Chain A
């Protein structure tokens, strides 16, 4: 009972946050502008439109996760609204879970809204629309669940500004973690153990590029196919995301559990 109550309350609070609407408006604007950029291209107009739209949705849903997620816990502590809540028979993990699920719900609504506008716009402009786009958007959502978990982790341990900085770094660097393996390949001849070590480090990093199937989705959509990637790959990426998010939340709980408020 506690978790859904806090989750719904968090959702209500998030949808009142002006930053959400600012980001949504910018997201929609970028989707609309994608057509203009497609126009200046000779060939590939639909592909460019779809590319830009998916990337805009990815970027702005990421911003929502970062801006709203990083202040989530700290704001409660700072304003002391958390005191009255935790004085009830509510465990701290229930509080965290409620906050997380509330933001996840907010993200889902925002994503669905952006997706609906995007798909309608594509259809209106005569660009192909297939179920493959749904795959990309699903993995986009899973990626944001991971980013939100990162935001909550930092939010429960530091100030909003520092949380925002760290979460943003994770969001962008998570797309590029493969360079760690590339770096390891450089050492292959001189220090082979270094290559193995770096690969091990890579396996534990939040590898957000796992959720990036935008390239495959765009090509599948242009070819009017309904599957960008096989179902088992989709499942693997989804389960990876959910597991990683859960692990992060558990770490957040460990940090928050014995924190003196």
Chain B
């Protein structure tokens, strides 16, 4: 196993150009990507559809070959098959052999990972129990639901307890309970010292669990770092709510507030800074209202994402 002081994943100037043929235009998949994923962390890889997330992941697991640059997993070039001993991979919308049962599938991938029979048996039981698939252990995969397949996909990725787990859109298509389970698994992997690198659209999930993120757009990384350092913490707007205000509202606030409305019980005001919020509070109280709510909205990851990807 490679030394853990090394980055779990490192890329240097990674590029991918698709050359479909004589008459079609060349397409840039990746361009000058530099990544460094520290070991023992959860790294979120964000981007729109077609930004290059899956391309990056496929290069890391050896399914595609970069046209320029290099990538390493725990210090080993990704083109060396030994690098894949240290990683577990779950593709987007995983698909396995329909005729195999859940347990057989895990045994199959366990064999490919080099596990001996006793270990395979033990890990299969553990994983099936952990992911709630015990009842379906002997059911052929063709009868599995999407959520069950996703869970099985995750199981086969971590079967051999790899130091690095790469997941491509692990939460897509799952219901909120399923997403919660997957989130908990990812957190437990980090707690066990494993590194998790996953791509996702669901920014709220990324925001909740990731230590670092990278945002990729049109094949290039546009932002990378710990979440808290990316989000400026700047207050974008403050919302206030007060009771005891008449339906016509408070005239003084019309010019100051971005928006104001009365919902029958409370009078709501939206201002775009903390200073204006203080003024609005004073105005409401002066108008005889009782302040019920004052809440600042800081820039969320989604807003940040939309900002940096230029949409």
Contact = CB atoms under 8 A, between A and B. Distances in A.
B109 A84 contact: yes
A191 interface: no
A89 B81 contact: yes
Interface stretch (A1-9, A29-37, A167-175): A1-9
Contacts of B156: 84
Contacts of A84: 89-91, 94, 96, 109, 153, 156
B82 interface: yes
Given A91-B81, A261-B63, A85 B99 contact: no
B81 A87 contact: no
Nearest to A85: B112
Interface in A57-103: 79-81, 83-91
A261 B58 contact: yes
A86 B111 contact: no
A182 interface: no
Given A5-B111, A81-B95, A84-B156, A260 B63 contact: yes
A12 interface: yes
Contacts of A79: 95
B91 A89 contact: no
Interface residues of A, number: 23
Contacts, number: 71
Contacts of A90: 81, 84, 112
Nearest to A10: B97
Contacts of A81: 95-97
Nearest to A9: B108
Contact of B62 (A5, A12, A86): A86
A87 B87 contact: yes
A258 B64 CA distance: 8
Nearest to B90: A84
Contacts of B114: 1, 89
Contacts of B89: 83-84, 87
Interface size class of B (residues with CB under 8 A): 20 to 34
Contact of B84 (A9, A88, A258, A261): A88
Contacts of B94: 80, 83-84
B64 A260 contact: yes
Contacts of A80: 91, 93-95
A85 B157 CA distance: 11
B113 interface: yes
B109 A88 contact: yes
A127 B291 CA distance: 105
B63 A5 contact: no
Contacts of B88: 87
Nearest to B82: A89
B179 interface: no
B301 interface: no
B58 to A, nearest CB: 7
Given A80-B91, A84-B89, A260-B65, A89 B84 contact: yes
Contacts of B91: 80, 83-84, 87
Contacts of A261: 58, 63-64
A197 B97 CA distance: 48
Interface in B249-304: none
Interface in A1-30: 1-2, 5-6, 9, 12-13, 16
Interface in B86-125: 87-91, 93-97, 99, 108-109, 111-114
A1 B110 CA distance: 11
Contacts of B201: none
B218 interface: no
A16 B63 contact: no
B84 A87 contact: yes
Contacts of A88: 84, 109, 112-113
Interface string A95-133: 000000000000000000000000000000000000000
A107 to B, nearest CB: 20
B85 interface: yes
Interface in B40-74: 58, 61-65
A261 to B, nearest CB: 5
Nearest to B61: A87
B85 A89 contact: yes
A84 B94 CA distance: 8
Contacts of A260: 18, 58, 63-65
Contacts of A16: 99
B58 A1 contact: no
Q: Which 3 A-B pairs have the closest CB atoms?
A: A87-B89, A88-B112, A83-B91
17 contacts: A1-B114, A2-B112, A5-B112, A12-B99, A81-B97, A83-B61, A83-B63, A83-B89, A83-B94, A84-B90, A84-B94, A87-B88, A88-B113, A89-B82, A89-B112, A260-B63, A261-B64
Given A84-B90, A84-B94, A87-B63, 4 more contacts: A80-B95, A88-B112, A88-B113, A89-B114
